[in-house]
């Protein structure tokens, strides 16, 4: 793909990242994501259009508001940069195809869910429920190729994935008397199943448990984080699902090979 097109894809990713920031900060507060324009979180001054340029606006202002000099969180430019890199790498890997574009949209939803879950410990229904429906709808159209799900894969993914996890959470609560997995995590798993098929779920669930354990233990060791605090699980599901796009088929082939030689 030519450089000028790749640059354009990167810039489009930055602009979308700026919109994802709006979603991340307004959806948990149930605010309108279109109006009003962005304001400084500290002094509420409207942000000038030339300071609102994704990533570079923050860099040029040194991470401070032009009006009150209050610090503006580095999470804003980080989300823009991550969205741009996700857009670029997904287009490079899956092309400017319906599949590539759909996966970019899925990636954007996962960025918003991850950021909200880290801060508020929720995965809002306004993203996951339409996410499940759209994934199922797309699977019935003829436009998409793997790793997007076939309609059979999507139905099994959303149904068995969501249902299986719901059952697991229910059993866990019955036996231990504690909440293991949140309703939001179950809906996110069903959403991932609807988009990527049931095939993605063993890798995603196992992978998220591994990432979650490593991060959770590291978190407790380094910061002495209180163990009784909830650990947001959505980010690890999202990260593991994204790893599946790149590593899933190779890991499954390796595992099946091991299984075959052990008989």
Burial category of 260 from C-beta neighbours within 10 Å (exposed 0-12, middle 13-18, buried 19 and up) = exposed
Of 65 and 111, the one with the shorter C-beta distance to Zn ion is 65
| Residue of 40, 75, 78, 82 interacting with Zn ion (CB under 5 A) | 40
Tokens 């599949």 -> residue? 99
User: By CB under 5 A, which span of 43-51, 143-151, 170-178, 219-227 interacts with Zn ion?
Assistant: 43-51
Of 63 and 216, the one with the shorter C-beta distance to Zn ion is 63
CA 96 to chain CA centroid, Å, is 20
Provide the minimum distance between the beta carbon of 56 and Zn ion in the complex, in angstroms, as a whole number. Answer: 18
Binding of Zn ion by 42 (CB under 5 A) = yes
Q: 91: how many CB neighbours lie within 10 A of its CB?
A: 22
Provide the minimum distance between the beta carbon of 49 and Zn ion in the complex, in angstroms, as a whole number. Answer: 16
Collapsing DSSP to helix, strand or coil, 39 comes out as strand
Binding of Zn ion by 247 (CB under 5 A) = no
User: By CB under 5 A, which span of 36-44, 126-134, 157-165, 168-176 interacts with Zn ion?
Assistant: 36-44
Of 47 and 251, the one with the shorter C-beta distance to Zn ion is 47
User: Shortest CA distance to 236 belongs to which of 201, 203, 212, 219?
Assistant: 212
| Residue of 1, 33, 43, 217 interacting with Zn ion (CB under 5 A) | 43
Residue 28 tokens read as: 């948990």
- Given a contact cutoff of 8 angstroms between Cβ atoms, the answer to whether 116 and 101 are in contact is no
User: By CB under 5 A, which span of 67-75, 157-165, 191-199, 242-250 interacts with Zn ion?
Assistant: 67-75
Burial category of 237 from C-beta neighbours within 10 Å (exposed 0-12, middle 13-18, buried 19 and up) = buried
Strand partners, 46: 39
User: By CB under 5 A, which span of 62-70, 92-100, 175-183, 192-200 interacts with Zn ion?
Assistant: 62-70
User: By CB under 5 A, which span of 66-74, 93-101, 175-183, 242-250 interacts with Zn ion?
Assistant: 66-74
Strand partners, 71: 64
Contacts of 24 (CB under 8 A, 6+ apart): 79, 111, 112, 115, 116
Strand partners, 64: 71
| Residue of 1, 68, 167, 217 interacting with Zn ion (CB under 5 A) | 68
| Residue of 9, 55, 65, 72 interacting with Zn ion (CB under 5 A) | 65
Of 42 and 211, the one with the shorter C-beta distance to Zn ion is 42
Provide the minimum distance between the beta carbon of 43 and Zn ion in the complex, in angstroms, as a whole number. Answer: 3
Collapsing DSSP to helix, strand or coil, 263 comes out as coil
Binding of Zn ion by 209 (CB under 5 A) = no
Footprint of Zn ion on this chain (CB under 5 A)? 40, 42-43, 65, 67-68, 70
């Amino acid at each position: 793909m030519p450089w000028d097109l790749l640059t354009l894809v990167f810039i489009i990713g930055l602009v979308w990242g700026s919109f994802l920031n709006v979603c991340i900060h307004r959806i948990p507060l149930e605010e309108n994501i279109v109006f009003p324009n962005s304001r400084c979180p500290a002094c509420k001054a409207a942000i000038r259009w030339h300071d609102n340029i994704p990533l570079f606006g923050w860099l040029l202002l040194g991470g401070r508001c032009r009006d009150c000099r209050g610090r503006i969180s580095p999470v804003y430019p980080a989300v823009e940069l991550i969205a741009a890199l996700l857009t670029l790498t997904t287009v490079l890997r899956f092309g400017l195809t319906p599949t590539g574009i759909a996966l970019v949209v899925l990636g954007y939803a996962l960025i918003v869910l991850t950021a909200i879950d880290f801060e508020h410990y929720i995965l809002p229904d306004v993203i996951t429920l339409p996410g499940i429906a759209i994934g199922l709808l797309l699977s019935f159209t003829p436009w998409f190729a793997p790793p997007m799900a076939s309609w059979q894969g999507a139905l099994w993914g959303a149904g068995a994935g969501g249902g299986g996890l719901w059952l697991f959470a229910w059993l866990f609560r019955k036996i231990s008397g504690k909440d293991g997995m949140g309703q939001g995590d179950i809906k996110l798993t069903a959403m991932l199943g609807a988009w990527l098929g049931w095939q993605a779920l063993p890798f995603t669930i196992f992978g998220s448990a591994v990432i979650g354990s490593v991060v959770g233990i590291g978190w407790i060791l380094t910061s002495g984080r209180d163990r009784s605090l909830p650990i947001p699980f959505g980010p690890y599901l999202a990260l593991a699902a994204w790893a599946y796009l790149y590593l899933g088929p190779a890991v499954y082939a390796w595992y099946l090979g091991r299984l075959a030689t052990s008989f």
